[in-house]
Structure 1
Amino acid sequence: MGGVREQDDRMTIGAFARATDVTTSALRFYDDCGLVRPDAVDPVTGYRYYSPDQIDEVVLIRQLRQAGLPLEDVRRLLTGPAEAAEELLAAHLRTLERTVEAARATATTALTLIRDRTGDVVTVPGRTLAHAIGQVAPAADTTGEIPVLGGVLIETAAGELRLVATDRYRLATRSITVRGRREPAAAVVAAPHLEDARPWIGEQASVRLRLADSHVRLDGPDGERLLPTIDSTYPSYRVVLDDPPEPLTRVVAPRGRLLAALGDDPRARLDLLVGDGLTITSSAHDRPSVTVPADTTGEPVAISFRFTTLHPALSASVGPDVMLQITRPHRPVVVRSADDGDFTTLAMPVKATTPPAPQGEP
C-alpha cells in the first residue's frame, strides 16, 4: 500500500503543531516560503509529516518571530554562523529599543493632548512662563498690608493664561496663548513662591499648570512643583483695563535714555512735562532736569510719579522703545512696549507740580 507508513516516528502536522506551540497555518506558511519543509508528504493524501528532529528548529523560528525578527533575517540567522546571528540579533534589539522610545515619546505627547482636552490643565513653554513671571511679579505688593496683593493672580480661560499683579500704584498684566483649559479658572500665588520657582520653570521645555483650591501644580520634564495658593479673592482689576478712555497724549521714547533720566533715588518724585518733547525733573537735589528725545502726539501735559512706581514699570518692559499712553494727569498711565504687545503695565501718577508748557514753546 502506498503512502507514508503509520508505524514510523513521523508526526502529523497537528501533533507537530502542538509539540512546537505553533499553528498548523504557520507551519504551512513556513513550507510555502521554503523556511521549514515537512519531512515527508503523503503522495496520495497530501498530508504533511514532520520529524521530531525538526522541533528545535521550529521552536527557534517561533521565538525569533515573536521577537519581531523579519522573515528574511530569520532565514539568514538559520543558515549563517553563530557570530553573524549574534550581530543580527543585537542590531534588531537596538532597532526595537529605538522604536519603543519613539513610541513612548509619542504616547506621552498623545496623553498630554488627551489630558489637555479635559480642560483641567494648560500647557505653556517654560521659558515663556518664566519670562512672564519676571515681568509681572515685581508689581506685587511687598508691604503685607493686604496679603492677597502680595500674590500674582493666575487666570486661565479660552486658550489664554494671564498673570496679574498690583501694589495699588502699579498694575502689570501678561497674557500667553496656551493649550488646554477652556473653562475659566483662577488662583493667587505669593509672588516670592513664583520667583523661587522661576529658574526651574525656565529650564523646562514645557510646563503643565493645574489650578486647584489649595495649590497650583506645575509639571515639567524634570519633575513637578506645588505652589500654595492664597485663600482670598483678588480685586477686580478688569474695571481698569476693560474699555479704557482714549489716550489724549502718547509718548514714544528710548527706554534706556528714559530710565537713565529717572535717576536712582527711590525716594524721588518724578515730574514729566510733555510738549514738543519730554522733560523729566526729579525731586532729588543733585539731579537737574533732563530732556529725553521722544515722539509725542496729542495734548501737552504735566504728570508726576513716584520713582518706585515709574522706574519698575519701565524696567519690566522689553525692547529699545517704550510708549506712554496718558489720558489725564490723575488717571493711570498705560506703559507699553513695541516688542511685547501681550505685556501691559499701568502706572498710577501722583498730583502734578509742573504746569504744562504751551505747545511749541521750549
Structure 2
Amino acid sequence: MGNESGMRSIGEMARDSGLGVSALRFYDGAGVLVPDWVDPVSGYRWYGPGQLDEARLLAHLRRAGMPLADIRLVTAGWSGSDTALVLKLLSEHLLRLERGLCDARRAFSTVRDLLDARETPMSSTFAHPHTAPVRLTVSAPGLAAALDAVRFAASTDPELPMLGGVLFDAEGGTLRVVATDRYRLAVSATGVTGAGEGEYDGSRVQAVVPSPLADAMRALLGAEGSAELRVEGDRVVLEAGERQAGGRCGATGFPDYRRLSRLPAGRRAPVDVPAFREALLGGPVRSQVREEDGAAYDVSVLEVTDGGPVSVREHASPGDRIGVNRAFLLEALAAADRDRLVLEAGTGPRPLTISRGDDEETYSMLMPVIVED
C-alpha cells in the first residue's frame, strides 16, 4: 500500500489536500469523506487517487465556513452531472456570508463609536511627545533576563505594527516587559533600582520598543552592573556604561496585558523540562493549517491532570486535553530558562500558561488549538 498503488495515507492526504489529520478523521466519522480502505489490523486509513480532489474541495468549503449539513450535500452532488443543487447551496452560503459581513460591519462601527467615546486605559499611559522625560535605573542582567523571557512572542506581522515590539511598562518599583503576537503572550519583570535626578516618581509610564531596537538594547546588557532607561517624548534610550541604543517608540495601541492575564484557575502540573521537551519532539503531532494565512504547523495534544503528569498524546479525553502549536510551546519552554516549570490548563478556550515556580512575575500564555477527533 502507498504511492505505488496511488493510495495516500492520512498524513499524505493531509499534506496534499490542505485538510488537517484531525479534520480528515472528523469527515470520515461524519461519512463525508470515507477512506477507500482501512487496514483491519492497524486501523490506518488509506485514500484512493480520486479522493484528493474531493478532499481539496472539502478544504475550501471548510475554510469558507460552510455548515456540515450543506457540505454533505455539496460533496454528494459534486460527482453528478446535475450541478444545480451544488450551485444553489454555494449561492445560499455566499449570501449568508455577505449578510454576516454586513452585521459584522455594523457591530464594528458600534465598537468604534464606543472607543471614540472613552479613552482606553492603555493609550492614556503611553509616552508621547508632550510627556516629561523619565529616567530610571535597572539591573543590567535583570533586564537582559526579562527580555530573553519575552522576545520570542513579539509579532512579525506587518499588518499589526503595534505588536511588533516589546512593551516596557514601568510602575512603582517594577519594570515589566511584555510581548504578544495574538497567539501567545509573554511577561517578565525586573526591579527599578533608582531614578535619574529624581525625575521618576513611580507613576505608570509605558513605551513600545520596536523589536530591532529591543534587540540592540539587549546586546548592550552584560552580566553585571546597571543600565539607565530614558523615555523622552516619543523616543526611548537605554544606556549601559559608555554605550547606548535608542530610537523612536513603536506604534501605540498595545493591548492591556493585565486584563489578558486574568484567567480562571486551571489544572496545574509541574513538568521536568528536558524530559518534556524530548516527549514533544518524539511524540505524535497533528498537522493543521492556520486559517488566517494558510500557514501549516504541527499541533501537540497534551493531557494535563491537576498535580501532574503532563503527557503528549495521540488521543486524550476532552476534559483533560489541550492542543497547542508545538513550535510555540518549545520556544516558550526555552525562553522560560528553567529545568522545572509549571503548566496550567483549563477547559475550552482558556490559554495554556507556562510559569516558573520561583518567579511569579515571569510567565507566558499560548492560545489553544481546536482539536477534533
The one-letter code of the counterpart of 1:270 is S
8 Å contact kept, 1:162–1:176: yes
Structure 1 segments, 4+ long, off by >3 Å, are: none
Q: Which residue number corresponds to residue 254 of structure 2?
A: 234
Q: Which residue number corresponds to residue 304 of structure 2?
A: 274
Where do residues 1-362 of structure 1 align in structure 2 (5 Å cutoff)? Answer: 120-178=134-192, 179-180=194-195, 181=200, 182-202=202-222, 205-242=225-262, 244-247=263-266, 249-263=267-281, 267-275=297-305, 277-281=309-313, 301-353=320-372
The one-letter code of the counterpart of 1:271 is V
Distance between the aligned counterparts of 2:298 and 2:251, measured in 1? 35
Q: Which residue number corresponds to residue 17 of structure 1?
A: none
The one-letter code of the counterpart of 1:137 is R
The one-letter code of the counterpart of 1:194 is A
8 Å contact kept, 1:302–1:329: no
Distance between the aligned counterparts of 1:208 and 1:315, measured in 2? 28
Distance between the aligned counterparts of 1:272 and 1:255, measured in 2? 14
The one-letter code of the counterpart of 1:219 is E
The one-letter code of the counterpart of 1:327 is G
Distance between the aligned counterparts of 1:155 and 1:268, measured in 2? 33
Q: Which residue number corresponds to residue 89 of structure 1?
A: none
Report Cα offsets for 1:73-132 as digits up to 9, x if no partner: xxxxxxxxxxxxxxxxxxxxxxxxxxxxxxxxxxxxxxxxxxxxx992111111111121
8 Å contact kept, 2:271–2:309: no
Report Cα offsets for 1:164-206 as digits up to 9, x if no partner: 1001111001121213331211110112221133121226611
Partner SS, residue 330 of structure 1:
coil
What count of residue pairs does the alignment treat as equivalent? 221
Which consecutive residues of structure 1, in runs of 5 or more, have no partner in the other structure?
1-117, 283-288, 292-298, 355-362
Partner SS, residue 353 of structure 2:
strand
8 Å contact kept, 2:220–2:240: no
Distance between the aligned counterparts of 2:252 and 2:134, measured in 1? 21
Partner SS, residue 147 of structure 2:
helix
Distance between the aligned counterparts of 1:274 and 1:220, measured in 2? 43
The one-letter code of the counterpart of 1:259 is R
Distance between the aligned counterparts of 1:204 and 1:145, measured in 2? 38
Which structure is higher in RCO with an 8 Å CA cutoff and minimum separation 6?
Answer: 2
Distance between the aligned counterparts of 1:119 and 1:147, measured in 2? 24
Q: Which has the larger radius of gyration?
A: 1
Report deviation, 1:339. 3.5
Q: Which residue number corresponds to residue 20 of structure 1?
A: none
- Per mean C-alpha deviation after superposition, the further-off stretch among 143-152 and 160-169 is 143-152
8 Å contact kept, 1:204–1:220: no
Q: Which residue number corresponds to residue 67 of structure 2?
A: none
Report Cα offsets for 1:257-299 as digits up to 9, x if no partner: 11122228982111012347332147xxxxxx9x9xxxxxxx9
Distance between the aligned counterparts of 2:321 and 2:217, measured in 1? 41
Report deviation, 1:300. 5.5
